[in-house]
Each structure stands twice: as structure tokens, then as C-alpha cells.
Structure 1
Amino acid sequence: MISWFIDQGPVIQALLATLFTWGVTALGASMVFFFKRINRKVLDGMLGFAAGVMIAASFWSLLNPAIEMARQTSDHPWIPAVIGFLGGGAFLWLADQLLPHLHLGFPTSEAEGVPTTWRRSVLLVMAITLHNIPEGLAVGVAFGAVAASAPIDGVPAATLAGAVALAIGIGIQNFPEGAAVSVPLRREGFSRRKSFLYGQASGIVEPIAGVIGAAAVMMMQPILPYALSFAAGAMIYVVVEELIPESQLQKNTDIATIGAMLGFAVMMTLDVALG
């Protein structure tokens, strides 16, 4: 099975990897069949954990390889990293302004984006869907980078093991995300089945973004450092704008912070050990 995966092209690898991350989102959403509510302290710890994973992935799996790749063609390797990083944040900011969505724990009156009559459940799913776009993109770009990047001093700047580590890390933090959507919907009166369907639906965008990311860097290799940095910037935007504020909403700051530290440590371990 492993050798078969290695033999596939980067686009297929990205598709399979993001189908895995979507599957873990669905697995998390399935918790609604067992629980009607999540203890707020547990939820804040999980949100912090997800934030820690994304911060670590942004540097170890995306920004650092982008800078190393840029060293091959530029005397200023920080330029692609800065431009791509800020571009990723700008993209998420624009999507935030345009697409109606509602963050967990906030009343419907505080929905963001253009005004809409969408139901609260749809707005909640849209918020997590926006969150999942940079995650899928990051995984896709990481797999595309393996084939598109040239070795530096005989050492690959991007490795298949590193891309797999990123997919595993994103998958791990998708589990609490799926539960964080489906269980609150159940508490608001939705059936278990409908709550599950909404929860897993938030992850559908990841395979789409993953395939686009992998295909883009394969077709336009010079943009690779920018693409890696773009994905990192988009993920950091999500962490600072969404995950950290939501994890601190109920003042469980220590629990959320410990969760973030653990998430960072897990992702860093995966990336260094496998990448």
C-alpha cells in the first residue's frame, strides 16, 4: 500500500491525503451520535490544540521549505516568503469579508461577511469551511513541492515524508473541528444525522483545495516558494482571527494555551521525525 502511494503522481497523492483529512473531520463529526454536548473546557483545549498544530505546520512544513527553495534562485530568499505569507493572509481576509459565516460561540447577530438570511447552522458550517480551505491548500502544495522542487546540496527541500506528516497533523486537528460543528448543532435541536452531515460537509473543501494546490505548483514551478508561503499565511490568519479568540472566549485561557503547546509539539515532532 505504501509503495503504491509513493508511485502515484503528486496530484493523486494530494487528493488521497486530503480525502484522509476530510475523513478525520467526518470521524470527529460522528461524535454527535454519542454526545449531545461538549464540555466547554474540553472544546477550548481542542481549539487550542488545533491552533498549535497549524502554527507549527505553517513554519516547519511550509515557510521553512519555501525559504530554502528561494535560496537557490535569489540572494534575498525572504522576499517570496514575505510576499506569499502576506498574500495568504490577504486572501483569507477578503474571503472573511465576502462570505457569510458565524464563529462558534457567537450569537447569530454577530455573523460576519455580507448580510444574509442564511440559517445559523449554515453560517457555522461556512466558518469551518473557510478554515479548511488553507488546510487543504497547504497539503496539496506540500505534495506538489515534492516533485517540483530541486534538491539543495543533494538534500530535497521538500520530502514526501514531510508532506505526509503535514497531512497527518492536519488530520489530527480536524477531529475536534468536526465535533466542534456537529455537537453544537445537535444541542440546538438538529437531528443526529443532520448534525453529522453538516459537520462532515465542512471538510469537503479540503480535497478540492488540495488538488488545486498540487496542480498549480506542478504547472508553475517558479511560484512554489510563494505558494508554500501563501498557504502558511492563510493558516496563520485562521489561527489568529478564529481559533485563538474562540478558545479564549470562556476564559479557559490556561487550558487553551496548554492545548496549543501540545498541538505545536505534536506537529513539530511529526515534521522533524518524518520530514
Structure 2
Amino acid sequence: MTLLYIVLATFAGGLLSVLVAASLTVAVLARLVKSLVSLSAGILLGTSLLNVLPEAFESRTAQPQTLFAMLLGGLLFFWLLEKVELYRHVHHHEGDGHHHHHHFDAEQAGRGGLTVLVGDSIHNFCDGAIIAAAFLADARLGLATAVAIVAHEIPQEVGDYIVLLNAGFSRAKALLFNALSGMSAVAGGVVGYFLIGSFDGVLPYLLVLASSSFIYISVADLLPQLQQRLAWRETLAQVLWLGVGLGVAFGVSRLLHGAH
């Protein structure tokens, strides 16, 4: 059953992002992404600091100093991956207020399109392995982790979709590329299940590595996008969506501790 849960959870992110992208116009997606970025930042931060890290530090097989070193190493690792454009996150589009030069997205999805797709596939594969590690540690923790990843996956994949459309891709072709990239999470989940399941002792370290991924995405990618001069209504909306995300993570944390 654990493997089934992992496959369903990893499949959900890719499927939901494609369905959202296919059902809405680019203008609506652009507005939706702004809210989802705030929501996913709250969920990722809350999940990592309230759920995943506490679970890892409750383990009796790993020393706290070693886990903190793993957290530091993970943050630096994901920073290096993004430096070589293999762990990038796309949440923008032409005219989104980021002040990119004209045809920026066409260049990103044209000349660098392969790198974007390869990077997203690697990112999704890692997400799948993270979900597998969480489910192997605790089914409820796996659910919390899957919710956090799906919350981030939707704006990420929608952002990729918008970039590809701005570069001249047809809707069908852009959706196909997004779907193929999203399915790499399923592969990561299945591989993670069989590899991690044989080494229970590494679970705390993998959970810390997962947390470092969530924290890095939130602090280095999502929160900076919210640091813009906006009208008070838009700022309030950002804070509210961030609070909703933290609330979701806190609610799941209460359920987890109640189960223990």
C-alpha cells in the first residue's frame, strides 16, 4: 500500500498542474500563479519546520549535530544545482512586473528550453524521492510532504507552461512537455521506495535533505518574488495566502503529533 500511496501522491502534482493549465486562459493563470506562490511558500516553510525536521530530529539513529550539518549541506547543494540551472523554478511570464527584457521568455524556452525541461525533470524526480522517504518514515508525514510538494508543483508547472506559450509553443505541445516533466516525479518515487526502503538508517538524513529543499525553494525563490512594492490590497492578499499555507502546515503538524 505504501508504494501505491507514493505513486498516487507523485502523480497528483503533475496531473493537477496540467489540468489547471489546460482549463484556464494565460491571463487567469498569470493572476493565479501570484496567489499560489504565496500559498506554496507558506506550506513549504511550515511543512519543513513544523513537520519534516521535527520528525527527523526525533530519530534516535542520528546525532543532532550531524543532521544540522546535513541541513547546511543540503542548502548549499540546491544552491549549486540552481547555479548550473538544473534546479530552477519558473513562476513568471511576459509582463508580470519582473522587468525582464522583451522576448525574455522566448529566449528562456527557445535557446534554453531544453535546460529548463531537463532541470524541471530532475527537480520533479527529486520531489518524488522526497515523497517516498516521507511515506516510508510515516504515512501521515508522507501526506503532509506530498501536499507541500503539490502546492509548489502547480505554480511551477503553470509557470513553465506560460513560458512555453510565450515562446510560440502550441497549447498541446506545452502541456505535453509539462506532463512528461511531471511524470518524472513518479519515477523518483518508485526508485526512492525500493532504494530507501532497504536502508532505514538513512531516513532521518533524507528527511533533513527534503527540508533543505523546501527551505531553499521558499527563501531563495518564492519569498523574493513577493518582495515587490504593491498596493496594500495586494500585499494583504500575499500575507493572507502565506498565512493560509502556514495554517495548512500547522494543521497537519497537529494531526501528526496527535497520531504519535
Q: Pick the TM interval, shorter chain.
A: 0.7 to 0.9
Whichever residue aligns with residue 223 of structure 1, its letter is V
Quote the residue 2:240 is aligned against: 258
Is 2:74 the partner of 1:95?
A: no
Measured in 1, the distance between the counterparts of 2:80 and 2:91 equals 20
> What is the percentage of aligned positions where both structures have the same residue?
23
Provide the residue aligned with 1:85 in structure 2: 71
Change (3 A) 1:188 1:38: farther
Corresponding residue of 1:139: 131
Deviation at 1:90, TM superposition (A): 2.4
Match of 2:192 among 209, 213, 223: 213
Picking from 157, 171, 174, the partner of 1:178 is 157
- CA distance 1:134–1:261, change in 2 (3 Å): farther
Query: 1:117/1:142 Cα in 2 relative to 1: closer, same or farther (>3 Å)?
Result: closer
Q: Is the 8 A contact 2:196 2:203 kept in 1?
A: yes
The equivalent residue for 2:95 is: none
When the two chains are superposed, the root-mean-square deviation of aligned CA atoms in Å is 3.2
Cα offset, 1:22, TM superposition: 2.4
Q: Does structure 1 conserve the Cα–Cα contact (< 8 Å) formed by 2:17 and 2:153?
A: yes
2:131, 2:145 within 8 Å by CA — same for their partners in 1? yes
User: How far is 1:250 from its partner?
Assistant: 6.9
Relative to the length of structure 2, the TM-score reads 0.77
Deviations 1:91-118 (A, max 9, x none): 2122112236574436489x9xxxx996
TM-score by length of 1: 0.73
Aligned with residue 27 of structure 2, among 6, 31, 37? 37
Deviation per residue, 1:40-73 (Å, 9 max, x gap): 554222111111111122123311110001xx24
Task: Note the C-alpha offset of 1:207.
Answer: 1.8
Gaps of 5+ in 1: 1-7, 146-158
Over 3 Å counting, the alpha-carbon distance change for 1:133 and 1:57 in structure 2 is: farther
Give me the whole-angstrom Cα distance separating, in 2, the residues matched to 1:18 and 1:209. Answer: 8
Q: How does 1:63-142 map to 2 (within 5 A)?
A: 63-69=53-59, 72-73=60-61, 77-99=63-85, 103-105=90-92, 107=100, 119-125=111-117, 128-129=120-121, 131-142=123-134
Q: CA, structure 1 residues 137+264, in 2 after alignment: closer, same or farther (shift >3 Å)?
A: farther
Between the aligned partners of 1:197 and 1:98, the Cα distance in structure 2 is 25
Is 1:160 matched up with 2:160?
no
Q: Distance in 2 between matches of 1:188 and 1:249?
A: 26
Structure-2 residue corresponding to 1:196: 175
Note closer, same or farther for the CA distance 1:130–1:240 as it changes in structure 2 (3 Å cut). Answer: farther
Provide Cα deviations, 1:101-148, integer angstroms capped at 9, x if missing partner: 574436489x9xxxx996354455456445545432321111122xxx
* Structure 1 residue 82, shift from structure 2 partner: 0.7
The answer for the alignment partner of 1:56 in structure 2 is 46
**Using a 3 Å threshold, how does the CA distance of structure 1 residues 249 and 122 change in structure 2: closer, same or farther?**
farther
What residue is the counterpart of 1:148 in the other structure? none
Query: In the alignment, what sits opposite 1:229?
Result: 208
Q: Distance in 2 between matches of 1:117 and 1:131?
A: 17
1:196-217 CA-to-partner distances (Å, cap 9, x unmatched) read 2233334233223323333333
Gaps of 5+ in 2: 93-97
SS of 1:38's equivalent in the other structure is: helix
- Residues 185, 117 of structure 1: alpha-carbon distance in 2 compared, 3 angstrom cutoff: closer
Identify the range of structure 1 (45-54 vs 260-269) with the bigger mean alpha-carbon deviation. 260-269
Between 99-108 and 44-53, the greater mean CA deviation after superposition: 99-108
Q: How many residues are matched?
A: 243
| Aligned residue identity for 2:250 | M
Residues 102, 210 of structure 1: alpha-carbon distance in 2 compared, 3 angstrom cutoff: closer
